[in-house]
Amino acid sequence: MAYDPLPDTDLAAVVTYLEMRERPEIEVPPSTLDLQRIENPAPDRYRELFRLVGAPWLWFSRLMLDDEKLREIISDPKVELYVALDGNARDVGMLELDFREQGQCELAFVGLVPDLSGLGHGRWLLAEAVSRAWRDGVIRVHVHTCSLDHPAALAAYRRAGFIPYKRAVERFPDPRLLGILPKDSAPQVPLLGTDASAAPVSER
């Protein structure tokens, strides 16, 4: 067993890749939340939703993109963005489905705000994601998660029918030190170091 030291300015995560190649029997459980598609989202609207859901888990890849590059992705007709709303029409989650690869769908981003954790809404959102991903012409649905995500994420994907098939180690500058996310984001991940220079960052 070997340990590879990291600079205080960097983070590392174990990424697990999962897939399903047959449509499962899907029963979407009831929820008090509503899922609505956002057509042609403005970059600022997208970033607001992305930060709301992803900052507690250090999602940052889309925040590295300028308006043009971000719009190129989220305005693609083969990329579908949904927002989860509570009874007060408050944004509480997001789902992004990517059909750009022929015959496949990636659950690019799926998540809820932390205060809804443990209430069954995550099971509902994931069931909605799988149900909407499987459509005519799709023969594979895939997703990846990492050790910085919600601790229940991997088990939830497996329970939904996804099968792990590959792992990788990802290393990247801490987005809090780059100023991409607030320094109080993800308090469960210790913040080390005091400065970091902008450097190429791999997409999560």
* Band (199; pLDDT cuts 50, 70, 90): very low
CATH code linked to domain 10-25+32-173: 3.40.630.30
Element (H, E) at 179: none
User: How much of the chain, in percent, has pLDDT values that exceed 70?
Assistant: 95
Give the model confidence (pLDDT) of 23-61 as tens digits: 998 888 999 999 999 999 999 999 999 999 999 999 999
Model confidence pLDDT, tens digit, residues 108-164: 999 999 887 777 788 999 999 999 999 999 999 999 999 999 999 999 999 999 999
Q: Buried b vs exposed e over 133-146: b needs ≥16 C-beta within 10 Å? A: bbeeeeeebbbbbb
Q: Are 170 and 59 in contact (CB under 8 A)?
A: no
